[in-house]
């Protein structure tokens, strides 16, 4: 498989994997050590959705590059793409998919 990227576009898989794995580990630790509401029978889609929402926010914050000139930040026009999709669009995709996954997980938990 060929990964087609330009500049920071190669970081999109990192922006997805790190928050999702981190939230899953945090969920397991809270369930095992604290219990209570964390040990209740909730759907794991909620955890996955929260990780994807964090991924979308992280991607949105890292979509632009900056250069420091005379002590001030200036935005640089650079094309950051993964598979010809810009980081700005990737952030929106991840955020929407994360929200839909959280909503689905809540509906499954409430048995609606």
Per the prediction, the chain carries an average pLDDT of 81
Summarize the confidence of residues 64-93 as an average pLDDT. Answer: 80
DSSP at 82: E
What pLDDT is recorded for position 39? Answer: 64
Cα 41 to Cα 25: distance, rounded to the nearest angstrom = 17
Give the lowest-confidence range in 18-27, 35-44, 99-108: 35-44
Q: What angle do CA 35, 36, 39 make, to 5 degrees?
A: 55
- DSSP secondary structure code for residue 38 in this structure: G
So where are the chain's domains?
Answer: 5-109
Whole-model pTM over 0.85: no
Residue 7: the pLDDT is 77
Share above pLDDT 90 across residues of the chain, in percent, rounded to a whole number = 12
Give the long-range contacts of residues 22-26, CB within 8 A, separation 24 or more: 22/51, 23/47, 23/48, 23/50, 23/51, 23/54, 24/48, 24/51
């Amino acid at each position: 498989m060929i990964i087609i990227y330009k500049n920071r576009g190669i970081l999109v898989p990192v922006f997805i994997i790190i928050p999702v794995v981190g939230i899953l580990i945090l969920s397991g630790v809270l369930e095992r050590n604290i219990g209570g509401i964390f040990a209740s029978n909730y759907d794991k889609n909620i955890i996955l959705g929260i990780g994807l929402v964090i991924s979308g926010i992280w991607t949105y914050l890292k979509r632009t590059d900056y250069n420091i000139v005379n002590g001030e930040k200036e935005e640089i026009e650079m094309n950051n793409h993964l598979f010809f999709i810009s980081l700005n669009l990737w952030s929106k995709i991840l955020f929407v998919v994360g929200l839909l996954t959280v909503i689905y997980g809540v509906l499954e938990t409430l048995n609606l």
